[in-house]
Amino acid sequence: MPTHIKIIVSLLTLLAGAIFYYFEAQYGRANVATVGAALSVFMVLAMWIFPEAGDRAKRK
């Protein structure tokens, strides 16, 4: 995936996580908000750390 698309997806994921955290902390359960925020950060980190799955024959 190109870097500029990863940046956009990362920002959107973190924005969605922040919105979820805000509303869940205000009107729901705080522990669920924390898990949701941690999950969104983990998803962004995993996208940047782990390589994409694909056909190994195309890479060579």
Q: Read off the tokens for 37.
A: 């925020």
Tell me the per-residue pLDDT of 3-54, one tens digit each, with 9 for 90 and over: 899 999 999 999 999 999 999 999 988 999 999 999 999 999 999 998 888 7
Distance CA 48, CA 2 (A): 11
Tell me the per-residue pLDDT of 21-32, one tens digit each, with 9 for 90 and over: 999 999 988 999
Distance CA 17, CA 60 (A): 37
pTM metric for this prediction:
0.81
